[in-house]
Amino acid sequence: MHRNRIKQAQSLLKKAGKASESQGKLKNPKEGKIDSSIYEEILNKIIKTEEFIYTSRPSHQLLKDDAEEFCSDLIEIRNKIDEILAEFGVLEKENVEEKVKSLSERFIFLTTKGNFKKLLTRWGVEPQRIVVAGVPLEAEDMRILNPNIPESAFEPIKKKISHVKNDINRKMKDLDCKNVLVVVEKDKSGKILAKRANNIYGAFVIEKDKLKDVDVIEFKRSLEKLSLS
């Protein structure tokens, strides 16, 4: 069974190469080194996607959640194939930051810290698309973050929240953008901001354990998954 699956995977790799050729002229291969770990990831992903063939019998119809997972895996396979082909000069190496910039055009980005804005900018997001909240989107959420906060602090906080919301609305109008994307860490402030932004704006969310440990390629893949939404 495993041998048959490997043959099926290799067949799909050939078809993927032909599909890439139809999108742009491929160059003749040059000398290069096979990254066996990437190739193994491709095979494992293809074997994983094959399960959808069996579980969706006899119609092969996929419901939304399964369709998202299936297509997300296929995108990862395609990206990994492109990495190998780029190593051998068959494809031009992708300008990842330019790709991020393109994928970002449908979003206004909302995050919690100035340092996170710097990361997003370095990954390719245009600075004018980014809003740093610094505070929750509802004053009452400050009590969750700081139960001992004095009443006197709420008026300044409400003003900051008003500025943040005005900034979001202005950017959405100026940039003709209807979607908000929250990019935060999985801490209390990040989760609170993400939940409120989803309630208010129907925001999409990218949550990571540590944003500083995320590289531009991983961020690009997260944006690509959202492009299926």
pLDDT in tens, 102-113: 999 999 999 999
> Is residue 229 one of the residues assigned to a domain?
no
| Single residue among 61, 94, 127 that ends a domain in this structure | 94
Q: What is the CA radius of gyration of the chain?
A: 22
Tokens of 211: 């944003």
pLDDT in tens, 65-82: 899 889 888 988 988 898
> Is residue 223 one of the residues assigned to a domain?
no
Residue 16: domain span = 2-94
pLDDT in tens, 178-191: 999 999 999 999 99
pLDDT in tens, 188-225: 999 999 999 999 999 999 999 999 989 898 899 899 98
Identify the pLDDT of residue 21: 44
Position 58 pLDDT exceeds 60: yes
103 plus 51 within the same structural domain? no
Task: Read off the DSSP letter of residue 29.
Answer: P
Measured over the CA atoms of residue 132, residue 138, residue 143 and residue 149, the dihedral's sign is positive
| Single residue among 94, 125, 151 that ends a domain in this structure | 94
Which has the closest alpha carbon to 74: 50, 38, 106? Answer: 50
> Is residue 171 one of the residues assigned to a domain?
yes
| pTM of this structure | 0.67
Mean pLDDT computed over every residue of the chain: 89
